[in-house]
Structure 1
Amino acid sequence: MKPFTFDQIPLMMNKIHDKLEHLEKLILRISNTKEDKEDILNIEEASKLLNLSVSTIYSKVSRREIPVNKQGKRIYFYRHELMQWIKSGRIKTYLEIKNDIEKRSKI
């Protein structure tokens, strides 16, 4: 590594900051992925996560609208499955729809 001048310090600090920010994002993504896949929730925890009442969750389970795991009379949820379920209901923006149409017309 070459020595740098005093005038280069702000530039070097920005580079260091950007690299640290990138590393932090990578670490958070890796740790969240591991935790999310292993997190098992009971109905009360799922209720808090989804901001739905317990009775609403039971209704969705009985209508098979929500991913669930059953052991005997107890039901459990995987956090990552619930998050995927939430994301599956996402409504596309006008721009996303327009881009999809343009991609299809090119094919």
Structure 2
Amino acid sequence: MFNKSHAVMTNITFEKLPEAVAQLHEKLSNIERLLKDQATAHTPEADEILTIKEASLFLGLSVPTIYDKVHKAEIPVSKRARRLFFSKNDLTAWLKAGRRKTNEELAREALAREAAKKKRGANA
């Protein structure tokens, strides 16, 4: 018997076999599509290599400021043949590492430290 609300076929008879195969094919196609979508979503982007001018545009910093940061070893860089190259992924990670915490995040961390101190004091 075919139950449309659950799209499940039970008691498959020879007469209902084409319908059951069609349902099975549709479900497999949906699973295949979902797996492909999931694989595409989790595929890391290919890293892009940037020149200093491209890095300047990407970061919104002037070229002299980037040279200064390279000189002070404050920014991830590669040097080949006296030229500077920047990994877009490395620059993104560098930007994220410099992220300032919100007041809420700082307050949560402070509460967690206080709770840890109290716990250590109670165990002593």
Specify whether residues 55 and 98 from structure 1 end up closer, same or farther in structure 2 by C-alpha distance, changes over 3 A only: same
Matches within 5 A, 1:11-90: 27-28=40-41, 30-31=42-43, 33-35=44-46, 38-90=47-99
TM-score by length of 2: 0.59
3-state SS, counterpart of residue 86 of structure 1: helix
Partner residue in 2 for 1:3: 4
Higher helix share: 1
3-state SS, counterpart of residue 34 of structure 1: coil
Q: CA RMSD in A?
A: 2.6
- The residue identity in structure 2 corresponding to 1:61 is V
Q: In the comparison of the two structures, how many residue pairs are matched?
A: 87
Partner residue in 1 for 2:19: none
Bigger radius of gyration among the two:
2
Q: Distance in 2 between matches of 1:99 and 1:56?
A: 35
3-state SS, counterpart of residue 92 of structure 1: coil
The answer for unaligned runs of 5 or more in structure 1 is 5-19
Q: Distance in 2 between matches of 1:66 and 1:104?
A: 31
1:96 Cα deviation after fit? 0.3
Matched, 1:103 2:104: no
1:105 Cα deviation after fit? 2.4
Identity of paired residues, percent? 37
3-state SS, counterpart of residue 103 of structure 1: helix
TM-score by length of 1: 0.67
Q: Distance in 1 between matches of 2:60 and 2:89?
A: 16
